[in-house]
A and B are shown apart, each in its own frame.
Chain A
Amino acid sequence: MLTTTRRGDGGLVLPADRQRRVVVLALTMLLVVATWWPTSSGAVDVPPGLATCGPGDANRADLTTRAGVQLRPCLSGVTLRISIPPASSRCGIFGRTCWDKKWSITGVSRSGLQTVRLQDGTTQQLYRLTFREFAVTQDVTLQTVGGNGYTLTLAPDADAVLGGQGSAGTTVVTDMWVTGESLLRFEFSLLLLPVFTCESDTRVDNGILGTTDWIPLSVRGCGMSLDARYVVTTAETGPIQGQYSVRLPDTDVTVGP
């Protein structure tokens, strides 16, 4: 029960301990409301309708996937590094084959060098590397390099799909515009002679990948370090819809410096 006393000017007076409780309650409510009350967003605002890729959108890239899908993305220029560290100490003994198979594809294609325009108007010479049914069984990390004061990291803890088969069974291809220095580590035999083994990195600009035709091999690799400016998934025959073509289970996403 609230004990009050009426003052001469009409005001009511509470005992001091109740006043303290009321003040604390009021402050708490004020804090709650102030904390959750709608305010203006902290985002850096950009006027709507502004061209987002240079004057007149002139800095868009003109790219075509291996499946023939034409795209005009505005590329940030930030590198996405797809890393799978190899476990070279666990090479097999026959031809030094990969012991730990960490990624797999069922076909690969690499274009010649392409000139790709970035958002800032500069261009870069990149290869279009296309994987069919790209899946990773362990240790893959996707991390940005060269961001504007940040690093974005996606780190799945379990088998991941970066193309693979879509969730409804459609074969998905992954087109990646990568630097020539990007590395793949996989085993590849020619006439039973090991061409690449678990101990040798293969640069993307290596001649053996220099074809626009599919190398329709099931390849399993033990490591990679791909520096991609742009990655896109499509079906083999064109655009894809209704298929979860990228699946990253048990994944931590962090933003760091």
Chain B
Amino acid sequence: MSGHAAALPESFVGGTRWRRSVAAAVLGLGVLAAGVVAVSQDVLAATVVYQGGTAEFSTGRISGQDVAFAMVPVTRTDPDGGARTTPVLRAGFATARMDGLCLSQVEQLPGIGPVTIRVEAGDGDPATQEITAADVQIDLLSFRGSGSGINLDGVVQIGLASSDVTTRPGAANPLGAPTEPGWTAIDASAGDIVEVRGLLADTTIGGPLTLPGLRITLVPGENGCSGTPVAG
């Protein structure tokens, strides 16, 4: 082995078993691509979870039935690996429709600097709410609804225990809130939030999820969703 290496120019020193690596890469990417294709071709009837730090998000509009906003604690992992419990506002929708979606996260890569992972979807038409999902949970750190902002329909209740909201008919404690006192919530028959931008910690979509026009891009620098127009 060393003899072969010694016979090569210095810049060629080192080696990779490319056949094995390529086979593994093709297998892994195939699985990933199959998932992406399933989503981009409209429906992925499975649970989709985003978790990993804080992400920016924006949408032109999100509307849904059986809506609740509940304060809950979540356990998050710090960059140094430590775990900590943080309160978040968990928004729950039994069903949701969105006008475009942008989700981004900035990562620091050694030797390269900041890069932004962006997941975007939508048809670019602000008149449509082309993204649909069921059993949506979004853990929010902050957000702003601009224009007509936050609109809640029907019998709106404020001050409920977080464990007492109803986002899925027949489901007790659908947002997985603690049952001890001190966690409060807002519950409504329906909700409509316009021109939304914010920071989220986690997202869980029970599915099915329809994401037309899905794009996943890796762009250099810090190019989060807050710096671009609200998705259409």
Residues of A within 8 A of B (CB): 4-5, 7-17, 19, 22, 24, 27-28, 31-36, 38-46, 48-53, 69, 71, 73-78, 80, 118-120, 142, 144, 146-150, 152, 154, 156, 158, 167, 177, 228-234, 239-255
Contact = CB atoms under 8 A, between A and B. Distances in A.
Nearest to A17: B11
Nearest to A75: B159
Contact of B155 (A17, A75, A118, A234): A234
A212 B19 CA distance: 83
Nearest to B195: A250
Secondary structure of the B side of the interface? strand
B87 A149 contact: yes
Contacts of A14: 12, 14, 16
A44 B173 CA distance: 12
Contacts of A12: 15-16, 18-19
Contacts of B152: 244-247
Given A14-B16, A24-B112, A8 B154 contact: no
Contacts of A252: 142-144
Given A250-B146, A251-B150, 16 more contacts: A24-B109, A32-B218, A33-B28, A43-B139, A45-B176, A46-B179, A77-B182, A147-B182, A148-B73, A150-B71, A152-B184, A232-B155, A234-B155, A246-B150, A249-B145, A251-B145
B49 A39 contact: yes
B129 interface: no
A13 B109 contact: no
A44 B142 contact: no
Nearest to B52: A35
Interface string B156-192: 1111111110000001110111111111110011001
Contacts of A48: 171-173
B105 interface: yes
Contacts of A241: 153-155, 189
A255 B87 contact: yes
A240 B71 contact: no
B154 A74 contact: no
B197 to A, nearest CB: 10
Considering residues B32, B150, B180, which has the most beta carbons from chain A within 10 angstroms of its beta carbon?
A: B150
Given A36-B52, A44-B176, A245-B153, A253 B140 contact: yes
B16 A228 contact: no
B41 interface: no
Contacts of A74: 160-161, 163-164
6 contacts: A15-B11, A24-B112, A45-B176, A48-B172, A119-B181, A148-B181
B107 A11 contact: no
Nearest to A45: B176
B43 interface: no
A46 B87 contact: no
Contacts of A11: 15-18
B158 A228 contact: yes
A52 B144 CA distance: 30
Nearest to A26: B25
A242 B230 CA distance: 27
Contact of B153 (A40, A42, A243): A243
A3 B170 CA distance: 62
B13 interface: yes
A19 B14 contact: yes
B151 to A, nearest CB: 4
A42 B204 CA distance: 10
Contacts of A42: 51, 74-76, 139, 201-202
A120 B181 CA distance: 6
Contacts of A254: 142
